[in-house]
Amino acid sequence: MRVLASLIVVIVLSLAACSTSISHRVPTVAPAGVSPDRAERDIAECERLAAPGTDQRAERYAACMVARGHRAYVEVDMWKGRPLLSPDFGTRTQDVPFWIRRTGDPRDADGVFGDLAICAAVTRDRTRPSPVVGNVSIGLHSWWPGVGLILPAVERAYGECMGERGYAVEVWRP
């Protein structure tokens, strides 16, 4: 009976975590001169667009906020598509965090989302660790060798790709 009660608590907490506000997990910064009321409306509209259960919810929320002129936090998943049993599986600190903001012509949320996805794929293709060199980590908080060598390449590849599409990009540094 005690195990069943524990299981129910875990399920309830898991469901509550899925339904929590995405704005608390994806930082954004409103552009200068935007009223607090407008910023709150943007947050509410983008949270509706990226409702719980939405595929790639964080990315969709960030894309919506960027489309509305805000600066948003995104992560480039450098290991997407790696086999489940690869030697580096489970070392998920390899996501590279960036701040993104739109500098070019306006785009809708779907257009921004597409740009984020394309540039993440381009960055992975251009900076994937070489099998000749072996596994190197590109995470900011990893102890694996090669961090200092490959992170600038990731920053450059993602920045160039997003820059060509009309965005300013900077690596998020804690």
Q: Is the pLDDT of residue 20 over 70?
A: yes
Question: pLDDT digits over 100-146, tens only?
Answer: 999 999 999 999 999 999 999 999 888 865 444 444 444 443 334 44
pTM, rounded to two decimals: 0.73
Q: Please state, for a pLDDT cut of 70, what percent of the chain lies above it.
A: 67
Q: Could you tell me which residue, 55 or 15, shows the higher pLDDT?
A: 55
pLDDT for position 40? 96
CA angle, 93 as apex, 72 and 139 as ends, to 5°?
A: 85
Q: Mean pLDDT throughout 26-36?
A: 95
| CB contact at 8 A, 102 and 57 | no
Q: Is the pLDDT of residue 98 over 90?
A: yes
Instruction: Report d(CA 57, CA 59) in Å as an integer.
Output: 6
Instruction: Report d(CA 76, CA 96) in Å as an integer.
Output: 5
Q: Which residues pair with 81 in a beta bridge?
A: none
Q: Residue 150 CB: number of other CB atoms within 10 A?
A: 23
Q: Is the pLDDT of residue 65 over 50?
A: yes
pLDDT for position 79? 67
Q: Mean pLDDT throughout 83-91?
A: 44
pLDDT for position 167? 98
